[in-house]
């Protein structure tokens, strides 16, 4: 008997929905579904409310493109941050990773991906043009950005993206640096520990 006929439709729909999440296969989705079935109803209601709030209240910051509930986001609107330094990262989770290190007090710019021709992702699909426009606006407003830290992951796609941005910044009066090689090649910022990230930030080099 197939799963679709052996299970109630509501359970099958939940398993199918969970399987659409990254890293969740049929077995993991089934375990999560059964866990929710056995748990108190309050847990499922809290999860449903959290998902509704996620879609209803979150947006992208119009300055740095990080995920936020207010625009501009708390980092961009914080006058104590050094807005003359911008750290360019691939995803919002990378911002969280760097913030956990508690050594960086500049601003951010989230690309929302990397250049990946094999996956059909080009520079125009990322927030690169928005970064260039942001640098020009800062200069026009008399508050120029003095340093751009390229903090893309040390993968083939991350290196390709960093090199592309570096070329785009050529000719602008801005220092371009890259995170030091304290980060493992092929790794993700999201999974780096605080000490590794701290050393990478402190040891960044001219690009």
CATH number at residue 9: 1.10.8.420
- Asked if residue 183 belongs to a domain, the reply is yes
- Asked if residue 108 belongs to a domain, the reply is yes
Tokens found for residue 8: 């109630």
Are both 42 and 114 inside the same structural domain? Answer: no
Pairwise CA distance, residues 156 & 186, whole Å: 8
Are both 15 and 50 inside the same structural domain? Answer: yes
Q: What is the mean pLDDT of the chain?
A: 90
What integer is the mean pLDDT of 114-132? 97
What integer is the mean pLDDT of 126-135? 97
The 10s digit of each residue's pLDDT in 14-56 is 999 999 999 999 999 999 999 999 999 999 999 999 999 999 9
Are both 95 and 179 inside the same structural domain? Answer: yes
Q: Rounded to two decimals, what is the model's pTM?
A: 0.79
Cα angle 68, 85, 88; round to 5: 55
Whole-number pLDDT of residue 41: 94
- Asked if residue 151 belongs to a domain, the reply is yes
- Asked if residue 103 belongs to a domain, the reply is yes
Query: Do 155 and 179 form a contact (C-beta atoms < 8 A)?
Result: no
- Asked if residue 62 belongs to a domain, the reply is no
Domain ranges, residue 78: 67-206
Q: What is the CATH number of the domain that holds 170?
A: 3.40.1360.10
String of DSSP letters for 31-94: HHHHHHHHS-HHHHHHHHHHHHHHHHH-EE-TTT--EESSSS-TTTT-TTSEEEEEEEESSHHH
Instruction: Give the DSSP letter of residue 184.
Output: P
Query: Do 118 and 150 form a contact (C-beta atoms < 8 A)?
Result: no
Residue that terminates a domain, selected from 34, 57, 80: 57
Tokens found for residue 28: 């993991």
* Model confidence at 4: pLDDT above 60: no
* Model confidence at 193: pLDDT above 90: no
- Asked if residue 14 belongs to a domain, the reply is yes
Confidence of residue 105 (pLDDT cuts 50, 70, 90): very high
Are both 111 and 33 inside the same structural domain? Answer: no
Whole-number pLDDT of residue 2: 43
* Model confidence at 1: pLDDT above 60: no
- Asked if residue 81 belongs to a domain, the reply is yes
Are both 176 and 117 inside the same structural domain? Answer: yes
Largest pairwise CA distance in the chain = 70
Query: Do 196 and 183 form a contact (C-beta atoms < 8 A)?
Result: yes
Percent of the chain at pLDDT above 70?
A: 91
5-9, 42-46, 94-98: least confident range? 5-9
Name the domain count of the chain.
2
């Amino acid at each position: 008997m197939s799963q679709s006929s052996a299970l109630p439709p509501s359970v099958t729909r939940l398993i199918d929905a969970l399987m659409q999440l990254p890293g969740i296969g049929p077995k993991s989705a089934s375990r999560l579904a059964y866990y929710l079935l056995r748990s108190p109803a309050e847990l499922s209601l809290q999860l449903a409310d959290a998902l509704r709030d996620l879609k209803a209240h979150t947006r992208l910051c119009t300055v740095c493109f990080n995920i936020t509930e207010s625009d501009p986001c708390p980092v961009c609107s914080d006058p104590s941050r050094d807005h003359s330094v911008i750290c360019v990262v691939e995803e919002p989770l990378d911002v969280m990773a760097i913030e956990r290190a508690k050594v960086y007090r500049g601003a951010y710019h989230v690309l929302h991906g990397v250049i990946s021709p094999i996956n059909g992702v080009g520079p125009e699909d990322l927030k690169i043009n928005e970064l260039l426009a942001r640098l020009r606006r800062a200069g026009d407003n008399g508050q120029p950005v003095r340093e751009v830290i390229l903090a893309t992951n040390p993968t083939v796609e991350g290196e390709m993206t960093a090199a592309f941005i570096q070329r785009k910044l050529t000719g602008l009066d801005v220092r371009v640096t890259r995170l030091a090689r304290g980060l493992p090649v092929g790794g993700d910022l999201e999974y780096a520990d605080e000490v590794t990230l701290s050393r990478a930030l402190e040891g960044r080099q001219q690009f």
